[in-house]
C-alpha cells in the first residue's frame, strides 16, 4: 500500500469510516507480550531477525540486543509510520516523556485517560527529527494531528489493549540506562518493512531468527499453522530459531479448553509439528505482572530450530 492510500485510509478511520475486516489495522501502542521473558532465548547479537508486531517493540528490543538486521512483517499499513514516530520520540525525549507521549492510559490510575497522548507540543518537539528520519512518517502524523484530535486518533487507530506492564515487558524500558543504550544504537540499525499477511508475504532474505508472536491465536487451524511453519522454516538460516507462537497463561501442564485457538492445544501441536521438534519455554507472564503475583499467569513460547528439508538444506 503506497503512502497516499495509507494516509487516506487513516483519515477515513479517524472519521469513523471503516469496516470490521480492518481489525488488523489497529496499531498496538506497546507490546502485549513479555518480550523480556523470551528475548534471551534467542541469539540476536550480530544476527538477523524477521518479526511481526505493529507496536514495533519487538524491533526496538532486538536493536537493544545488538541485532544486525531486522525486518518487520505486518499486515498493518501504518506500522512503518509508527516505528519512525517511536524512533524520533526515543531520540528527542526522556523515557518518562516518551511514555507520556505514546501511552493513552494515565497510570497508575485505572481507566484514567492520559491527556498528553500525541499532544501537539511534544509532537512539535520531535517533528524536525521525524522529518529527517522518514518524511512520509512525518507527513502521516502531521496530517492526522492537524485534522483530528488525539482522542479520535487514539480510539480509531489504536488498539485499547494496553495495561500497566509496559516497562516490565520491554527491556528497553526497564530503566533509564537501557533506554539510553537503545538511543545510542537505534540510528545505526538496519530496519526493513514488509506490509502483508504472513501467508502471502514475499519474503526474499533468510534470517537467523523468526518471531511469529501470537498471530496463530487469531483463528488459525492446525493445517494452516503447519503450512505457515513450513513456509517460514525455508527462511531460517542453518541453526536458526523460530518462535511458532506466544501463549498467554500457558505452561506445559495447562489443560486445553476446546474453545481456545488450536495453537493452545499443545498435545496436538507437538504431534502435528513433531518434525520441527518444538519446545515450550515458560517465563513470568503478563497477567502475573498486572496482578503483581509471579505465581500466576505464566506465559510461554513454542520454539523450534531450523528443520532440514533435504540433504541440501
Q: What is the pLDDT of residues 88-116, one digit of tens each?
A: 999 999 999 999 999 887 665 555 677 88
CA 42, distance to chain mean position in Å, is 16
Question: What band does 311 get if pLDDT is binned at 50, 70 and 90?
Answer: very low
Whether omega for the bond prior to residue 108 falls within 30 degrees of 0, making it cis, is yes
The dihedral formed by the CA atoms of 47, 236, 76 and 81, expressed in degrees to the nearest 10:
20
Q: pLDDT confidence of 16, banded at 50, 70, 90?
A: confident
CA 23 to chain centre: 16
8 A C-beta contact, residue 240 and residue 300: no
pTM attached to this predicted model: 0.93
From 48-62, 82-96, 157-171, the region with the lowest mean pLDDT? 157-171
Please tell me the predicted confidence (pLDDT) of residue 20.
Answer: 55
Cβ distance 27 to 158 under 8 Å?
A: yes
Q: What is the pLDDT of residue 159?
A: 87
Least confident of 55-69, 143-157, 158-172, 193-207: 158-172
- In this structure, the chain runs to a length of 313
CB contact set of 15 (below 8 Å; sequence gap of 6+): none
Amino acid at each position: 500500500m503506497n503512502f497516499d492510500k495509507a494516509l487516506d485510509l487513516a483519515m477515513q478511520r479517524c472519521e469513523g469510516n471503516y469496516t470490521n475486516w480492518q481489525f488488523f489495522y489497529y496499531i498496538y501502542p506497546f507490546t502485549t507480550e513479555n518480550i523480556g521473558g523470551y528475548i534471551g532465548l534467542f541469539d540476536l547479537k550480530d544476527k538477523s531477525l524477521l518479526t511481526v508486531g505493529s507496536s514495533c517493540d519487538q524491533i526496538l528490543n532486538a536493536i537493544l540486543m545488538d541485532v544486525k538486521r531486522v525486518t518487520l512483517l505486518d499486515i498493518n499499513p501504518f506500522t512503518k509510520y509508527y516505528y519512525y514516530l517511536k524512533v524520533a520520540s526515543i531520540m528527542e525525549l526522556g523515557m518518562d516523556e516518551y511514555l507520556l507521549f505514546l501511552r493513552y492510559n494515565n497510570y497508575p490510575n485505572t481507566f484514567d485517560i492520559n491527556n498528553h497522548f500525541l499532544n501537539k507540543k511534544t509532537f512539535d518537539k520531535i517533528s524536525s527529527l521525524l522529518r529527517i528520519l522518514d518524511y512520509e512518517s512525518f507527513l502521516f502524523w502531521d496530517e492526522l494531528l492537524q485534522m483530528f484530535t488525539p482522542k479520535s486518533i487514539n480510539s480509531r487507530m489504536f488498539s485499547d489493549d494496553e495495561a500497566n506492564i509496559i516497562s516490565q515487558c520491554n527491556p528497553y524500558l526497564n530503566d533509564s540506562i537501557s533506554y539510553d543504550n537503545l538511543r545510542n544504537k537505534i540510528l545505526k540499525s538496519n530496519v526493513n518493512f514488509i506490509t502483508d499477511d504472513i501467508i502471502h508475504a514475499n519474503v526474499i532474505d533468510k534470517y537467523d531468527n523468526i518471531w511469529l508472536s501470537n498471530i496463530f491465536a487469531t483463528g488459525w487451524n492446525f493445517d494452516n499453522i503447519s503450512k505457515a511453519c513450513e513456509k517460514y522454516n525455508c527462511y531460517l538460516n542453518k541453526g536458526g530459531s523460530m518462535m511458532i507462537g506466544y501463549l498467554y497463561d500457558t505452561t506445559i501442564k495447562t489443560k486445553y479448553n476446546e474453545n481456545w485457538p488450536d495453537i493452545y492445544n499443545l498435545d496436538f501441536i507437538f504431534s502435528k509439528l513433531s518434525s520441527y521438534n518444538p519446545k515450550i519455554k515458560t517465563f513470568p507472564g503478563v497477567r502475573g505482572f498486572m496482578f503483581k503475583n509471579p505465581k500466576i499467569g505464566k506465559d510461554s513460547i513454542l520454539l523450534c530450530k531450523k528443520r532440514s528439508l533435504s540433504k541440501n538444506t
